[in-house]
Amino acid sequence: MRVRPDELLVLLPRCLQNEDCGRAVQKDVEECARCGVCPLRSILALRDRYGFRMKVAGGGREALAAVQAPGVRAVLAVACVPELYAGILAALPKPVLAVPHEQPCGPCRNTRVDLARVEAAIRSVLEHDNRREGA
């Protein structure tokens, strides 16, 4: 399935945010200071370049509500494998691309994600190369 950027939701777990950060990115990703301590700065840069929707979710209910939002036709989810599995089943019949994250500090703490895999997944679902000029 191919979608427009505004129809793609990139869904991220709150554990990508550094645990020492006091910013409320779960409420609003624009709260991110883009300091580079966690991967959110780089994913926000991808969002700025491609124009997709982005949500940092604190749990399954919040994630499912974001997936069910009007206009969302496809989802790219970043999470641990068990959460990805449960999320894909809950999101059916919407297509979900899944990118498992890395857990260098153990589960649910300061996780990381391969940004090249995230960008490749984004590009694979967009109708065409939607990179914005100057971004």
Determine the average pLDDT of the residues in 34-54.
96
Domains of the chain: 5-125 (3.40.50)
pLDDT at site 59? 87
Determine the average pLDDT of the residues in 88-98.
92
pLDDT at site 118? 97
Count of alpha carbons within 13 Å of 79, Cβ hemisphere only?
26
| Interacting residues of 105 by C-beta distance below 8 A, sequence separation 6+ | 111
End-to-end CA distance of the chain: 25
pLDDT at site 134? 52
